[in-house]
């Protein structure tokens, strides 16, 4: 049996090249090798308020983006978290074995909580729900960007604790990070990661941004005062541009050095813009075709949910039995 892969993204904000290079691109690459489930995690999105109509539309948009990137629904499942109620059910069972202190230590929780006047309980529970997503399907591999590594460590801690309290139940999932592009930084500020919730022009390149907007953001990216690319002394902004180029092109370190050493920043940016746009244009064309076919995305989501539901139900049944919760004999 092929090992199982699970990953997901929140249907909030606009997906950007960081989401693509950190996660989505790698999902496409591994889907022939593993049994993959790619989720749109709407229950995670509502840990902060989402306008209902916008959220509803965003879910199908994200599904369309997965498909446009090359996820093949004949091969992989593309499903919505709230369509499979076992996610929430298992999350409760895991909540009961998770010390609050573990959750309060999560850096994403601390960063998000600092921005809120009143912190919803969902924000604290967020990583437990994420653990449930993964453990529910007994996933062995979870391909994500670097910012999710801490949540995955916590997932393993929760699984271990459940297994030691109640007996072997969950597969221990491994984190899979891309070798290049695991953490794409903001174009305007290379000290912070490129983020969906950051809306300033020039921060990110959205996967659905028109090419001229993408080019403008890249040409304005923050660099430093050196005259050109010096591989022995790369500032964070220049390093980020080179990473974006390398991740899109698939070039080796050697090829990168030979080609870019000494290049002036203006020329570097132009070439980064070219490689990004060369990928975005066919991607956006596929996206428009997919969304133009009425009912197609909804059908993929329904079929996928139908396909994965028995896997989820089996794990919940097992976890209930292990805990002594009520199941029919
Ligand atoms: P999110 O936008 O939080 O739903 O994240 C979806 C996926 O994209 C996760 O696997 C993240 O780790 C990944 N990701 C988000 N931002 C970045 C970034 N700036 N660079 C690389 N990967 C990212
Ligand atoms: N927390 C992840 C993020 O913001 C999204 C997510 C939810 C996820 N459940 C998951 C990722 C399970 C991988 C596996 O990026």
- pLDDT per residue as tens, the chain (329 positions): 789 999 999 999 999 999 999 999 999 999 999 999 999 999 999 999 999 999 999 999 999 999 999 999 999 999 999 999 999 999 999 999 999 999 999 999 999 999 888 899 999 999 999 999 999 999 999 999 999 999 999 999 999 999 999 999 999 999 999 999 999 999 999 999 999 988 888 999 999 999 999 999 999 999 999 989 999 999 999 999 999 999 999 999 999 999 999 999 999 999 999 999 999 999 999 999 999 999 999 999 999 999 999 999 999 999 999 999 999 87
For the Cβ of 42 lying below 6 angstroms from any atom of ligand 2, the answer is no
**Residue ranges per structural domain of the chain:** 4-177+294-323, 211-290
- The whole-number pLDDT of residue 281 equals 97
Measured CA to CA, the distance from residue 118 to residue 258 in angstroms comes to 52
Instruction: Report the separation in Å between the CA atom of 68 and the middle of ligand 1, taken as the mean of its atom positions.
Output: 18
* Residue 204: C-alpha distances to residues 64, 217, 259 (Å): 20, 7, 25
Residues that are catalytic: 112, 193, 196
Q: Which ligand is nearest to the CA of 189?
A: 1
Q: Evaluate: CB of 148 within 6 angstroms of ligand 2.
A: yes
Q: Give the number of C-alpha atoms closer than 13 A to the C-alpha of residue 93, restricted to the C-beta side.
A: 28
Q: Is 19 in the pocket of ligand 1 (CB under 6 A)?
A: yes
Atom number of ligand 2 nearest to Cα 41 = 7
- Correct CATH for 4-177+294-323 of 3.40.50.2300, 3.30.530.20, 3.40.50.1110, 3.40.50.620: 3.40.50.620
Residue 10 CA, closest ligand 1 atom number: 4
User: Domain 211-290 classified CATH 1.10.472.50?
Assistant: no
Reduce the DSSP state of residue 222 to 3 states and report it.
coil
Ligand 1 contact, 196 CB (< 6 A): yes
Confirm if 185 and 202 have CB atoms less than 8 A apart. Answer: no
pLDDT of residue 4: 98
Ligand of minimum distance to the alpha carbon of 155: 2
| Ligand 1 nearest atom to the CA of residue 185, by list position | 19
Q: What is the pLDDT of residue 164?
A: 98
pLDDT (0 to 100) of residue 328: 86
Determine if ligand 2 sits within 6 Å of the CB of residue 190.
Answer: no
Q: Which of 148, 153, 176 to mutate to test the pocket of ligand 2 (most atoms within 8 A of CB)?
A: 148
- 224, 227, 202, 198: which is closest to 215 by C-alpha? 202
pLDDT of residue 198: 83
Residues 17 and 190: their CA atoms lie apart, in Å, by 14
Q: Using CA positions, which residue lies closest to atom 8 of ligand 2?
A: 8
What DSSP element (H or E) covers 9?
strand 4-9
Q: Would you state the pLDDT for residue 200?
A: 85
Report CA(182)–ligand 1 centroid distance (Å): 8
CB 297 within 8 A of CB 56: no
For the CA of 9, the closest atom of ligand 1 is 4
Q: What is the pLDDT of residue 1?
A: 76
Residue 178: CB within 6 Å of ligand 1?
Answer: no
Both tokens of residue 230?
A: 């010096």
**Same fold flag, 4-177+294-323 and 211-290:** no
Q: Is-contact 187 222, C-beta < 8 A?
A: yes
CB of residue 18 inside a 6 A radius of ligand 1: yes
């Amino acid at each position: 049996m092929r090992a199982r892969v699970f990953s997901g993204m929140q249907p909030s904000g606009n997906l950007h090249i960081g989401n693509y290079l950190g996660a989505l691109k790698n999902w496409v690459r591994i889907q022939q090798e593993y049994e993959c489930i790619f989720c749109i995690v709407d229950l995670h999105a509502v840990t902060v308020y989402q306008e209902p109509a916008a959220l509803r539309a965003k879910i199908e948009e994200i599904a369309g983006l997965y498909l446009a990137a090359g996820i093949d629904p004949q091969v992989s499942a593309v499903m919505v978290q709230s369509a499979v109620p076992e996610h929430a059910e298992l999350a409760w069972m895991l909540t009961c074995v998770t010390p609050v202190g573990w959750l309060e230590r999560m850096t994403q929780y601390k960063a998000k909580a600092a921005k809120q006047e009143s912190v919803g309980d969902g924000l604290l529970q967020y990583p437990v729900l994420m653990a449930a997503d993964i453990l529910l399907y007994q996933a062995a591999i979870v391909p994500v960007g670097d910012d999710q590594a801490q949540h995955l460590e916590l997932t393993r801690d929760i699984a271990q604790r459940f297994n030691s309290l109640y007996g072997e139940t969950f597969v221990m999932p491994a984190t899979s990070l891309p070798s290049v592009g695991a953490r794409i930084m903001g174009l305007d500020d290379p000290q912070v990661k490129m983020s969906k919730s950051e809306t300033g022009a020039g921060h990110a390149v959205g996967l659905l941004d028109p090419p001229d907007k993408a080019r403008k953001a890249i040409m304005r990216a923050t660099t430093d005062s050196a005259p050109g690319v010096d591989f022995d002394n790369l500032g964070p902004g220049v390093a980020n541009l080179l990473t974006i180029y390398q991740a899109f092109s698939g070039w080796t370190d050697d090829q990168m050095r030979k080609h870019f050493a000494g290049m002036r920043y203006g020329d570097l940016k132009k070439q980064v813009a070219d490689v990004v746009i060369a990928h975005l244009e066919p991607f956006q064309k596929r996206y428009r075709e997919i969304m133009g076919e009425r009912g197609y995305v909804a059908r993929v989501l329904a079929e996928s949910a139908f396909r994965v539901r028995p896997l989820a139900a089996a794990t919940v049944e097992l976890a209930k039995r292990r805990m002594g919760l009520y199941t029919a004999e």
